[in-house]
Amino acid sequence: MSIDEVEILRERAIAFLKNAEYLYSISQYDLAMFSLEQYCQLILKYKLLIKTGTYPRTHSITYLLKLLSKISQEVNMLLENEENFIILTKIEDAYIGSRYLPRRYDEKEVRVVLRFIKEVFNPVVERI
């Protein structure tokens, strides 16, 4: 693991979150949802890289969280709470849905996911 790789993952993750907020503000909900998914994926890979020196080549947010739960039991709160898990799988599905499927995301969906990331997901992930 190089310091550059670690920093690149963190910077890209933060940029995707900022991009999602901007896209949401201009009603580009499909791309906002994709950016939120990318943020979650990269910030989890960043945490894994810092804690273990590596991360798997996967797009699965739930799988990445399961790996992190071995490092921090607090992560289980994200996976075991039904509402949190449903939102996480919605975010995970956005990787394909926002890119390849004729699926439209609406303002409410993105608002709920953005709030979840800021109020639930980020506080847990930051403590890892």
The string of pLDDT tens digits covering residues 44-90 is 999 999 999 999 999 999 999 999 999 999 999 999 999 999 999 99
Domains in the chain, ordered, with CATH? 3-126 (1.20.120.330)
Q: How would residue 2 be classed by pLDDT, with cut points 50, 70 and 90?
A: low
Residues 6+ away with beta carbon under 8 Å from 125? 43, 44, 47, 68, 75
Lowest pLDDT segment from 55-59, 95-99, 117-121: 95-99
